Amino acid sequence: MIAILKAGTSEEQKNNLCNWFEKMGLKTHVSVGDYQTIIGLIGDTSKVDIGLLESMSIIETVKRISEPYKNANRKFHTEDAVIDCGNGVKIGGGNFALIAGPCSVESREQIVEIAKSVKASGAALLRGGAYKPRTSPYDFQGLHEQGIDLLLEAKKVTGMPIVTEIMNVNDIDVFEPVDVVQVGARNMQNFDLLKALGRTKKTVLLKRGLANTIKELLMSVEYIMAGGNENVILCERGIRTFETYTRNTLDISAVPVLHELTHLPVIVDPSHATGISRMVEPMAMAAAAAGADGIMIEVHNDPEHALCDGAQSLRPEQFESVCKKVNKIREALK
């Protein structure tokens, strides 16, 4: 349920109303916009007397929210969320960012060289996996803590905030210096991990699961937000369909659908969505045209010898071309 307050409601009146709701055992979520203040109510709202509420002088309207996701619901928030990614980089509400880097961190030379080149092309954040969720246990699993240290070195050299994936709830402390903690597709419904991240203030990039619906993605992000962490970004990375030509099927419509349902930023990963490097540029352009708040692309300085996902990785010069085209599309949309 949401209660929209009349313009001119004082801070004290708003607080009194919130206290009244909280005494009924409800949690309140206040969203103050330029034109409206909305109090979102979470919990069993069946006890709330809507007639009584509507009769209050400070109440404009009261609406029931039928969707099971509340904190993530656009109806709870008047404006798009702007998420802080560190070092002054923001995503959402008109702030667009390109995130680029290798699938996995392999060495100091590799990550620093790639970081420098993607920054020069226009990337705002550096990605790189340190803990890798691999289908085969015999494949490279990542450099773990050493990988995070190397990302931090690349950050020191370039000033770019870093994005890297967490797989295990027990590793949360290791991710303390990480700017944006990624929850990958395979862990989208690792509810213990989501709850643990909800207890932190870390910025979380939550990727859609391989076979999950948009509603399930929103329920997963609700787990993080219910714990009090609203610093979240959603990522469409392709879903599994009957099509086998591409690694996954990029659901571009997820961008406008999510923008309708939630105030949270939505980015697109065309690398894992297609699995084919030559498909990344057209899909990145499609993502920009659909209004994505950011795009995450795998870039490697030597894709043929990459320890992970070489076939979908762009060379630095190919990434530069993508940046230029994406910028042109964004200009055209203005």
Binding site for Mn ion (CB under 5 A): 103, 309
- Out of 184, 198, 265, 303, name the contact with ligand PEP by CB under 6 A: 184
Query: By rule CB under 6 A, what string of x and - marks binding of each residue 9-38 to ligand PEP?
Result: ------------------------------
Residue 77 or residue 155: which is nearer to ligand PEP going by CB?
A: 155
Among 14, 119, 263, 272, the residue binding ligand PEP under the rule CB under 6 A is 272
- Comparison of 103 and 250: residue with beta carbon closer to ligand PEP: 103
Beta-sheet pairing, 83-84 with 90-91: antiparallel
**Burial (CB count <10 Å: 0-12, 13-18, 19+), residue 221:** buried
197, 229 Cβ separation under 8 angstroms? yes
40, 101, 129, 198: which one contacts ligand PEP (CB under 6 A)? Answer: 129
Given a contact cutoff of 8 angstroms between Cβ atoms, the answer to whether 226 and 67 are in contact is no
- Stretch of 61-69, 140-148, 169-177, 180-188 lying at the interface with ligand PEP (CB under 6 A): 180-188
How many CB atoms are located within 10 Å of the residue 325 CB? 15
Which range touches ligand PEP (CB under 6 A), out of 114-122, 183-191, 194-202, 322-330?
A: 183-191
What is the number of H-type helices and E-type strands within the chain?
10, 14
* Minimum distance, C-beta of residue 102 to Mn ion, in the bound complex (Å): 8
Residues 77-96, interacting with ligand PEP (CB under 6 A): none
Closer Cβ to ligand PEP, 108 or 186, answer by number: 186
Label residue 84 left, alpha or beta by phi (over 0 means left) and psi (-120 to 50 means alpha).
beta
Under the criterion CB under 6 A, does residue 103 sit at the interface with ligand PEP?
Answer: yes
In the three-class reduction of DSSP (H, G, I as helix; E, B as strand; rest coil), residue 230 is classed as: coil
Q: Distance (Å, rounded) from C-alpha 103 to C-alpha 309? A: 6
Confirm if 323 and 96 have CB atoms less than 8 A apart: no
The SS3 call for residue 4 is strand
In the complex, the smallest distance separating the C-beta of residue 287 from ligand PEP, rounded to whole angstroms, is: 14
247 touches ligand PEP (CB under 6 A):
no
Check binding of 185 to ligand PEP (CB under 6 A): yes
For the CA atoms of 182, 188, 193, 198, what is the dihedral angle to 10 degrees? 70
Structure tokens at 1: 């349920």
Spatial contact of 296 and 312, defined as CB atoms under 8 Å apart: no
How far apart, in whole angstroms, are the C-alpha atoms of residue 101 and residue 125? 8
| Residue 53 or 183 with smaller CB distance to ligand PEP | 183
Number of residues binding to ligand PEP, judged by CB under 6 A: 11
- For position 267 contacting ligand PEP by CB under 6 A, the verdict is no
As measured in angstroms, the least distance from the Cβ of 229 to ligand PEP is: 20
At closest approach, how far in Å is the CB of 167 from ligand PEP?
10
Of residues 56 and 286, the one with the C-beta less far from ligand PEP: 286
Asked if 270 is part of the footprint of ligand PEP (rule: CB under 6 A), the reply reads no
**3-class DSSP assignment, residue 36:** coil
In the structure encoding, which two tokens stand for residue 17, read together? Answer: 């109303």
Residue nearest to ligand PEP (CB): 184
Question: Among residues 269 and 320, whose Cβ is nearest to ligand PEP?
Answer: 269
Backbone angles phi, psi at 138, to 5 degrees: -90, -5
Per CB under 6 A, residues contacting ligand PEP are: 103, 129, 133, 165, 184-186, 207, 237, 269, 272
